[in-house]
Amino acid sequence: MAPRPLTPEEIDSALAELPGWEWDREGNLLRRSYSFARHLQAAAMVVHVAEIQDESDHHADLLLGYNTLGVSVNTHSVGGKVTELDVRLARRIEGIAAAHGAR
């Protein structure tokens, strides 16, 4: 069964539990930027996120910069809308961020 797009109220409720994450209504995606003391920490988090994505078979767009990591995600199979799959992935990413020194 395909995931269903979340309502604006459901997205707002999910984001209340995901500090630092925001809903880009225009692009219809969830996103977050992380900063790090060192570039290697950001790169290590990219690898860890890639492992989570492969495990869950749901993938975000990752943008590795100098001491930064940008994450944006929506569900392509439902026309680029935000679904529970995106919220779950955001929660998992948030759950590993501190261990990588992310702020």
pLDDT, position 7? 98
pLDDT category at 1 given cuts 50, 70, 90 is confident
- Mean model confidence pLDDT for the chain: 97
Query: How many Å apart are CA 29 and CA 43, to the nearest integer?
Result: 23
State the Cα torsion 64-84-11-45 to the nearest 10°: -20
Q: What is the pLDDT of residues 4-28, one digit of tens each?
A: 999 999 999 999 999 999 999 999 9
Query: Which pTM does this prediction carry?
Result: 0.96
Both tokens of 95, joined, read 């759950």
pLDDT, position 2? 83
Measured CA angle at 31 (ends 93, 102), to 5 deg: 45
Mean pLDDT across the stretch 61-65? 98
User: Sheet containing 29-35: which strands, arranged edge to edge?
Assistant: 22-24, 29-35, 68-73, 61-65
